[in-house]
Chains A and B, each alone.
Chain A
Amino acid sequence: MVEWEEKHQLLIETAREFNAKEAKRFLEIMDKENRFPPELPAKLSQYGLLGLKFPEQYGGAEMDSLGAALVIEELAKVSPAIADFLVSIHASTGVILHFGTEEQKATYLPPVAEGKRIPAYALTESEAGSDLAGIRTKAIKEGEGYRVTGSKLFITLGGVADFAVVLAITNPEAEKKHRGMSLLIVEGFQKGKEEDLMGLRGLAVSELSFQDLPVPGKNLVGKENEGFIHIMQSLDGGRIEVAALSVGLAQGALDEAIRYAKQRSQFGKPISSFQAIQFMIADMQTKIDAARQLTYYAARLRDAGKPHSREASEAKLFASDVAMECVSESLQIHGGYGYSKEYPIEHLFRDAKINQIFEGTNQIQRLVIARNLLERT
């Protein structure tokens, strides 16, 4: 890597300090107890790592996408779940930041940056995952506002959220389904059961439900009936962040493998002296570096205001596949011990899989990439 800009360098240092001083105790609670630690947001805020992209006036640092990716990568080396907490917050606040009114920004963003309120991004439903246009949640117009009815599934932070940005149908008559949906900031929803997930645990992933819930008209984010479009416009940012999370996770897995291989002796020598292990390590680092550069490239394109949909999808696809490969190889290097909960590779192995699934499955990413190439004239 050539030299970092000062702000990026300081951001990496700050995230490393958080990892060294704070991450482990939060990780215990999140992974072992599947519980969201209530002190986590305030602690991240003290380090200045919350609301990074917000303007100064809303408690942020006006950080670019590359900076956000670097923080997420760094945190994911130790705790992918904490990194995903940031990814989730960036997604829900991102639409407010880009499409919201000044009043919405002033009301909802500063408490998030201070770690006092937690947002959720409520899109997915039982019948609407990759096919987001298949949602059923409705927001029926009533006077100046709406009444929302429906339910959302697998909502990250849903169980602890103070408010949620919800995608709902506002025009059931629309000729094209995706032209009849809106984004609303919703409070006072019901929280259903929290999921007991394989990895990225402790993020209170829950069902949310709405029963004739009144939502004031001023809570409409962006334009009415253009919610789906707004989401599509902001997907790329999330994909870059999941790519960064995957890069960090993969590097964390490799770092653990190297540490273990140097300390574990077999046949009278550390296993790191065996070529079989060295080749695995070399292959992993090569792939991680490639994934990392692809991720930074997508982030830099985004920061330069250039088209980056294809690159964001490429980064997400490649980095999450690399992460899955690296956790598997790292666990292999750990041998039987890697299969025990005593070593971090065990949770990294479980944490890796979801990156191939969420924020657009890797199959969807391939579609995005292929269409982008085929539709080019």
Chain B
Amino acid sequence: MKIAVCIKQVPGTTEVQINPETGTLMREGVEGIINPFDLYALEEGIRLKEKYGGTVTVLSMGPPQVESAIREAISYGADEGVMISDRSFAGSDTLATAGTLAAALRILGPFDVILMGRQAIDGDTGQVGPETAEHLGIPHVTEVKMIEGVEGNRITLRRMLEHGYLRLKAPLPILLTVVKEINTPRPASFKGKLRARQVPVKILSGKDLDLAPKIVGLSGSPTRVIRVFTPPKPTGGKVFTGEPKEAVQSLLRALKEAGIPMNCKNGS
């Protein structure tokens, strides 16, 4: 089974500068981590490989520093890593990103299963998975919480719903986005870390992907971010201290004074 896992490097902090011209995050120079949801996708990819054989290829698109994320993914157990990096990809929105990822997946593939996290914790769109599948012309299932198994050309899945799950069968090849309920990612092993330092990471540039300039990067991105900002923290408020009983009584008094109705049956 040929498995691909697409990961994104996201800022490991909330202190990120925003480019005032494009409204996009300035990722360069900020310490990156692997998007936490992608770690579940990676773990599921490694488990599929352990169960059915094959290889796990990790792909990541971004500035040259994403190499560290790819190497980290190899330390968890991925077989090979591919970095999709080119100046012309800068400023990609989800549509341009998905188009670029799909082109890379076509070159490296065909893959039986492509895994991604449900969303990235920086952009929070959850769009890249489905869009990539559309570009590739393959089915996709989002919010997968369990892969029951693969038989022949069919995969049986559970997709998370608000109050339960949807069990479904789908044909391969397929793209899946996973939720954190799907597994518990393993730690990086010593041997994995050693391997991650040694294996070469392949680089795919704009030339390798042969995509028209108007569909990549900022020019291929119809999304315009108007403003990105950190919402102000709610201020004010009052903390009632002291013995619990006294504190509760002060709180009740304050609520009453503020004219907030209460449904207390007794005074305790």
Contacts and interface: CB of A to CB of B under 8 A. Distances in A.
A11 to B, nearest CB: 6
A135 interface: no
B190 interface: yes
A11 B190 contact: yes
Contacts of B227: none
B187 A61 contact: no
A10 interface: yes
A48 interface: yes
B197 A10 contact: yes
Contact of A61 (B186, B188, B190): B190
Interface stretch (A13-21, A284-292, A339-347): A13-21
Contacts of A47: 187-190
A46 interface: yes
A301 B159 CA distance: 58
Contacts, number: 33
A13 B189 contact: no
Interface residues of A, number: 15
B190 A14 contact: yes
Contact of B189 (A6, A7, A21, A48): A48
Nearest to A71: B190
Nearest to B192: A48
B189 A10 contact: no
A17 B187 contact: yes
A48 B196 CA distance: 14
A49 B190 contact: yes
B194 to A, nearest CB: 6
A48 B186 contact: no
B191 interface: yes
B193 interface: yes
Interface size band for B: 10 to 19
A108 B190 CA distance: 22
A180 B187 CA distance: 47
A322 to B, nearest CB: 28
B190 A48 contact: yes
A61 B193 contact: no
Interface in B178-209: 186-194, 197
Most buried by A among B187, B190, B191, B197: B190
Interface in A1-45: 6-7, 10-11, 13-14, 17-18, 21
A13 B193 contact: yes
B80 to A, nearest CB: 20
Nearest to B186: A46
A7 B187 contact: no
B197 A61 contact: no
Interface string B158-194: 0000000000000000000000000000111111111
Contacts of B197: 6, 10
Interface string A47-85: 111001000000001000000000000000000000000
Contacts of B187: 17-18, 21, 46-47
A13 B188 CA distance: 11
Contacts of A18: 187
A52 B189 CA distance: 11
A277 to B, nearest CB: 35
A227 B232 CA distance: 73
Interface of A: 6-7, 10-11, 13-14, 17-18, 21, 46-49, 52, 61
6 contacts: A17-B188, A47-B188, A48-B190, A48-B191, A52-B190, A61-B190
Given A6-B197, A10-B197, 13 more contacts: A6-B194, A7-B194, A11-B190, A14-B188, A17-B188, A18-B187, A21-B187, A46-B187, A48-B192, A49-B190, A52-B190, A61-B191, A61-B194
Q: Which 4 A-B pairs have the closest CB atoms?
A: A48-B189, A48-B190, A14-B190, A10-B193
